[in-house]
Amino acid sequence: MQHTVMADGLHPRRRRHAGARAAALTAAALLALGGCASLGGGDDEEQAYVERSVSELYNNGMDQLQDGNHAQAADLFDEVERQHPYSVWASKAQLMAAYAHYRDNSYDDAVNTLNRFIELHPGNRDIAYAYYLKALCFYERIADVRRDQKMTQQARDALKEVTKRFPESEYARDARLKLDLTEDHLAGKEMTVGRFYLENDHYLAAINRFRNVVENYQTTSHVPEALHRLVEAYMALGIREEAKAAAAVLGHNYPGSAWYADSYQLLTGKNVRPERAEDSWLDGVWDSLG
């Protein structure tokens, strides 16, 4: 009986056996590779579950963190919580995972982890730090004043929450410093937009921006200029009483400012003198600036 031989020189039955054997060897090799996979490995592959002790996972996470492998460290700290959710180290690992994400510039992941930590452990001894780290995740992403300031506003709100909830903590002191810088940044954005409106003769829109700086960012370095710009805008609209009031507030709070000198010259050159006006909105900030 004649046997059929395929192009590869194998009998069909032997060819099937060889194919099955090759498939088995391939599967075995894949299993071996999977068993060698470590936490923090391939981006697109499901990580193999390998049960490990709390101390091993946590200490390895700290080692990775020290070595600058922040993403791997976050994975290991997450694994502490996954494998040992009722361990006393679970909450600490959760906070360390957030810190690792922060160091990795994965700010959204850090914020999500911190929100979960704050929700699950409101009485934890490290809760103040959790709020502070969350604020830093927004603060680190503050953009140039010419760009959208949503992140700056979120940083401001988060920093205020730290100072409100934990006023005596070490984190509150640093939060106050960063809050001053954040508010100055937001005021700078308002000034940039206000100047644009003023230069393009949109005086009412400009006034709204400068007024916002004067009323809501009173401790920033932008207030003297905002008051002077109000003088300019009110004079352009022919609203002399408000221009006089703005110049008076400027002179009262910043008598040595170059902006007051400019405002004084602008008004006196048109036979108008700075004068306090009790019926103006500006009277409400007479003694509150600087």
Q: Locate 179 and state its tokens.
A: 């809050």
- Predicted local confidence at residue 284, as pLDDT: 76
CA gap 48, 55 in Å, rounded: 19
Average pLDDT, the chain: 81
Asked whether residue 1 is assigned to any structural domain, the reply reads no
- Predicted local confidence at residue 25, as pLDDT: 35
Q: Strand, coil or helix: what is 66?
A: helix
Q: Strand, coil or helix: what is 30?
A: helix
Asked whether residue 243 is assigned to any structural domain, the reply reads yes
- Look at residue 29 and tell me whether its pLDDT is greater than 80: no
Asked whether residue 216 is assigned to any structural domain, the reply reads yes
Asked whether residue 233 is assigned to any structural domain, the reply reads yes
- Predicted local confidence at residue 200, as pLDDT: 96
Q: Which one is predicted more confidently, 281 or 95?
A: 95
Structurally, how many domains does the chain consist of?
1
- Predicted local confidence at residue 195, as pLDDT: 96
Which are the contacts of 71, defined by CB distance < 8 A and separation ≥ 6?
40, 100, 104, 106
- Look at residue 43 and tell me whether its pLDDT is greater than 60: no
Rounded to the nearest 5°, which phi and psi values hold at 41?
-80, -145
pLDDT interval class at 117 (50, 70, 90):
very high
CA gap 168, 174 in Å, rounded: 11
- Predicted local confidence at residue 89, as pLDDT: 85
Q: Cα dist. 269→35, 198, 240, 266, 272 in Å?
A: 85, 20, 13, 5, 7
Q: Locate 202 and state its tokens.
A: 């949109």
Q: Locate 198 and state its tokens.
A: 């003023």
Tell me how crowded residue 270 is: count the other CB atoms within 10 A of its CB.
Answer: 10
- Region 14-21: what's the mean pLDDT? 40
Asked whether residue 287 is assigned to any structural domain, the reply reads yes
Give, in degrees to the nearest 5, the angle at Cα 252 between 269 and 218.
Answer: 110
Asked whether residue 281 is assigned to any structural domain, the reply reads yes
Q: Locate 144 and state its tokens.
A: 């140039």
| pTM reported for the whole predicted model | 0.71
- Predicted local confidence at residue 162, as pLDDT: 97
- Predicted local confidence at residue 13, as pLDDT: 39
User: Is the CB of residue 121 less than 8 Å from the CB of residue 95?
Assistant: no
Residue whose entry in the numeric block shows the structure tokens 């409106």? 197
pLDDT interval class at 80 (50, 70, 90):
confident
- Region 71-90: what's the mean pLDDT? 85
CA gap 39, 25 in Å, rounded: 25
Asked whether residue 218 is assigned to any structural domain, the reply reads yes
Which structural domain, as residue segments, surrounds residue 270? 201-290
Which are the contacts of 54, defined by CB distance < 8 A and separation ≥ 6?
80, 83, 84, 87, 89
Query: If you ran DSSP here, which 8-state letter would residue 223 be given?
Result: H
Q: How far apart are the first and last CA of the chain?
A: 108
Asked whether residue 141 is assigned to any structural domain, the reply reads no
- Region 128-140: what's the mean pLDDT? 96
CA gap 126, 114 in Å, rounded: 11
Quick: pLDDT tens for 219-248: 899 999 999 999 999 999 999 999 989 999
Name the nearest CA neighbour of 78 among 59, 98, 64: 98
- Predicted local confidence at residue 51, as pLDDT: 73
Least confident of 50-54, 150-154, 263-267: 50-54
